[in-house]
Amino acid sequence: MDTRADVLNFVETTIEQAQTGRIPAAAKRHTVNLIEQMLHRAAKPAQQAAPHPLPNWGERPLTPNERGAIEALVNYQAANTGLTPFFVESALLHFFNVEETRHMTAWNYDAAVRYLVDFQADEEIPVEQAAA
């Protein structure tokens, strides 16, 4: 329950249950403490992620381990979807607008992994890309 709306919904539900007598006294005390903690947490401003100590770290090329992970996911999705690894990799390369996985940067690594994990066999890639 991280959003204020979640907290407010929880509070409203709890108050309604307390008014109808559906919560025992011990549970009421626990619930009040929980609500106080949640309101305190919701009142805090969201913490922003600290900037990376190396500002250009994302522009580096992928490491061999990262390229290996992408290759493994390409092969996994090819086996799951019945497509060829070439087709799955072509869809990935087209999505990220690069010619080869070695041209991908660290900025794209997490997104590439998410793309491959969520890969659907009905993804469309241009015919000229698939024939290359």
Per-residue confidence (pLDDT) for residue 76, from 0 to 100: 92
What are the residue boundaries of the structural domains of the chain, listed by start? 4-43, 57-131
- Divide the 132 residues of the chain into consecutive groups of 10 and give the mean pLDDT of each group: 64 69 63 66 60 71 90 92 90 90 87 89 54 48
* CA-based torsion, 25, 27, 28, 33: positive or negative: positive
Name the CA dihedral angle for 3, 7, 10, 13, rounded to a multiple of 10 degrees: -120
